[in-house]
Structure formats: C-alpha cells, structure tokens
C-alpha cells in the first residue's frame, strides 16, 4: 500500500479514511468488527500486537486513530461513555491538586468533581462567568487542570479557548476542553492551545442516538501514556460493536454538521422576535453575548438553539406537549430533532435559586436541531408556539 500523508487531508476525507484501511486478509473495504475478547498466540508472548480486548482491540484502535486525526491530536483513547472519558483525565491528578472549571459545566462533570473527586482530595473551584480574567484570578500554583466547555449547555455561552489556554499554561496547568457541542468539524481546541479534548461521542460524533461512548484526545503522546494506563487499569472501555457504530457515525459527521448548522441558523432567525419569546440564543446571532468569540473560534454556530418563553414555565410546557416532529427528550446531537426543558429535565438536580441565577429559568427551552427538512421543523415549531 502506498503511504499516505493523512495530515494534509481535509476533514471529511480524514473522517472517512483514517484508521479505515481495507482488511489485509479479505480485502474488505470496510474493516471487520473484531468481536473477540482474546487473541491466539503462536508461542507464549508471541502475538500480533493484541493479547486481550480490554488492553487493545483493532476496532477500538481504528476509532481511536480516527478521533485523534479529527481533532489533530497526537493520540486518542475511547471510553464506554463521555463520563468515563472525563474520569480518565481527572484520574491523572493527585490529592491536593486544584481544578478550575467553568460553573456551568455538564451536570455530570460538576457532580463528578464535587462528589467523586473532592472526597479523594481534589480541590475544585468554579468560575462564575466566561471572562478569561475570572479564570486568571482563580488559577494559582496548585492548579493542575482548567476545564471548560464551549458552547455551554444549555445557554450556549462561548469561552475564549486560546486566552484561557494561555492562563492555564502560564500557571503550569493543563487545559481540557469538552468539545461535545461543537465537534471537531466546527472547532479544534488543540489548535487553540488545549492539552486534552474530551467528547461524549454519544452526541454528534455517534450522531444517531443509538450508542453511548466517550473519548479523550491529547496534544502530546506523553500525556496519552497516563490516560491509556488508566483506560487499561480501570477498564471503562467500549465494546467493538459500539466502536463500530461511532465509526460509522463519524463518516458523515462533516456533512451532518453542515446540515445541523444550516437548520439551526434558519430556526434561530425564524424564531427571533417571535411574540411569545423574550429571547433566542444562538452563538452566531449578532446579539449573542459571546458572538465575537464564537466567530473567532468556530466555523459555524452549531446545531443547538435555546429560547426563553415570555409566559414562563407554563408556556414552555404547553409548547413541549404540542410538538410533533421534535421529540421531547434529553440528550442531543442525533439526526432527529429533540426539545428539552432543562429546568425539569436535565438540570432538575440544581437548586432552583442557583439554577435561575444562572439563567436556567422555567421558561427556557433547548432545541437540538436535527437534519430533517427545514420546512417541517419550522412548521412544527410554529404550530407548537401557537399553542404555547
């Protein structure tokens, strides 16, 4: 086989081809799914590079190579969920180390920091706004990790990844960016200075709402040593069928994201100024508070749109009950459009005063805009808004 310089390939080409060499035994164009827990050795210790599937499996290895290429990182590691991927990075830290995170991180990440890692001695501190200056004030010489998401959930705030990377590095800390909402199709945190990228591949990367998965991608092979050790030692790995589903999803990630963004832009523009809404939130709308940063670090605004009902919770709930193309469901990033009421669904565990102070009011709705025909999506939103 001729050797290929895949680094020069565009995003869609890498998504389809990296780690997807034809099977050398059969010529199968799509690599087989390696449903095996173990590997036969010809003599003790004499094997083809695989011994046991917790430690390594070709289907998983192909996916890890592909994910690393998409994020332009040095290496990738796949996990059984986004939460397991998050835990892998936090496990590289030691008792007494400090983590500075944005206050509105994914709820499961907040819970893990407070209820799993704080009892083990990690100190977590939260920045209450998106300004790099706020991070700079909280980061000190005990800080080993800064953690952020951009855009955030569900208010779609965008944080300046390059500026916060510099603050972290100046203090000798590393930066981890959860890139689940943007995906590498729209935003590449490693190019902006991040050391770790985390994904819940359950969302856009899998893209079809049929698999739970996660990944860590690092900017430097040395960082992967610790993450890979943890992956093997604690065993939160995905099975080969799940890896295959993610890989199949990735092949259309570029084209799906284009359509998600097109539909979300059309919906944001359509809903803007609607009599029943007090605001429509989308990072590429000029009145978004972080519009300039979103434009600087993302190539499109993403597939998520949030909105606030004038009539508060009652209006939002009537809207939910009347949707027909949109499904009322948690999660995001699949081909099908979903609507979520964060205050009752995803953010119910946050005390009401704290939740409302952060803008997650009873009138807030979050849409994960799918790739259906835009006319049908808009007609559905219009009729449900009419009854809200």
Output the CA–CA distances (angstroms, integers) from residue 274 to 279, 301, 307, 339, in the order listed: 9, 20, 10, 18
**Candidate residues 53, 59, 66, 83; the one interacting with ligand PLP per rule CB under 6 A:** 83
Does 122 bind ligand PLP (CB under 6 A)? Our answer is no
Phi, psi (degrees; rounded to nearest 5) at 31: -55, 140
Stretch binding ligand PLP (CB under 6 A), from 11-19, 79-87, 256-264, 317-325: 79-87
Enumerate residues 165-184 that contact ligand PLP by CB under 6 A: 178, 180-181
Burial grade of 62 (CB within 10 A; 0-12, 13-18, 19 or more): buried
Does 102 bind ligand PLP (CB under 6 A)? Our answer is no
**Candidate residues 58, 63, 69, 106; the one interacting with ligand PLP per rule CB under 6 A:** 106
**Candidate residues 78, 81, 134, 150; the one interacting with ligand PLP per rule CB under 6 A:** 81
Output the CA–CA distances (angstroms, integers) from residue 175 to 104, 127, 139, 375, 378, in the order listed: 16, 14, 11, 41, 39
Smallest gap, in angstroms, from Cβ of residue 331 to ligand PLP?
A: 7
Between 148 and 388, CB nearer to ligand PLP: 148
Smallest gap, in angstroms, from Cβ of residue 78 to ligand PLP?
A: 12
Between 59 and 152, CB nearer to ligand PLP: 152
Which entry of 106, 196, 230, 244 is annotated as an active-site residue? 106
Task: Give catalytic status of residue 23 as yes or no.
Answer: no
Element (H, E) at 136: helix 132-138
DSSP letter at 284 equals T
Task: Give catalytic status of residue 203 as yes or no.
Answer: yes
Which entry of 203, 256, 355, 366 is annotated as an active-site residue? 203
Does 214 bind ligand PLP (CB under 6 A)? Our answer is yes
Nearest Cα to Cα of residue 196 among 315, 68, 23: 68
CA distance 333 to 200: 10
Assigned token pair, 56: 């390594």
Residues at the contact surface with ligand PLP, assessed by CB under 6 A: 81-83, 106, 108, 149, 153, 178, 180-181, 200, 202-203, 212, 214
């Amino acid at each position: 086989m001729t050797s290929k310089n895949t680094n020069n390939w565009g995003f869609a080409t890498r998504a389809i081809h990296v780690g997807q060499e034809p099977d050398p035994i059969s010529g199968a164009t799509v690599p087989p799914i390696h449903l095996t827990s173990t590997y036969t050795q010809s003599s003790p210790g004499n094997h083809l590079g695989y011994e046991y599937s917790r430690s390594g499996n070709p289907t998983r290895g192909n996916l890890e190579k592909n994910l690393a290429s998409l994020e332009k990182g040095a290496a990738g590691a796949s996990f059984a969920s986004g939460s397991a991927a998050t835990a892998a990075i936090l496990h590289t830290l030691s008792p007494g180390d400090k983590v500075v995170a944005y206050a509105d991180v994914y709820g499961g990440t907040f819970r893990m920091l407070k209820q799993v890692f704080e009892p083990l001695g990690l100190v977590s501190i939260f920045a209450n706004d998106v300004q790099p200056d706020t991070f700079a004030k909280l980061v000190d010489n005990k800080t080993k990790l800064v953690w952020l998401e951009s855009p955030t959930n569900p208010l779609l705030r965008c944080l300046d990844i390059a500026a916060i990377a510099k603050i972290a590095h100046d203090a000798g800390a590393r930066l981890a960016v959860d890139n689940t909402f943007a995906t590498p199709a729209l935003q590449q945190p490693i190019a902006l200075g991040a050391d770790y990228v985390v994904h819940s591949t359950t969302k856009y990367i899998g893209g079809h709402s049929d698999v739970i998965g996660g990944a860590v991608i690092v900017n430097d092979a040395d960082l992967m040593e610790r993450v890979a050790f943890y992956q093997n030692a604690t065993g939160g790995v995905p099975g080969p069928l799940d890896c295959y589903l993610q890989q199949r999803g990735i092949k259309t990630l570029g084209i799906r994201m284009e359509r998600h963004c097109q539909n979300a832009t059309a919906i944001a523009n359509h809903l803007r100024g609607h009599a029943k809404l007090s605001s429509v939130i989308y990072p590429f709308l000029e009145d978004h508070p972080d519009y300039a940063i979103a434009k600087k670090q993302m190539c499109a605004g993403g597939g998520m749109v949030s909105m606030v009902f004038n009539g508060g919770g009652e209006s939002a709930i009537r809207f939910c009950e009347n949707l027909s193309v949109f499904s009322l469901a948690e999660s995001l990033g699949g081909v099908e459009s979903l609507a979520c009421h964060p205050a009752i669904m995803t953010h119910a565990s946050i005390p009401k005063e704290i939740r409302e102070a952060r803008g997650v009011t009873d009138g807030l709705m979050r849409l994960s805009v799918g790739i259906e025909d835009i006319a049908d999506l808009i007609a559905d939103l219009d009729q449900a808004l009419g009854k809200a």
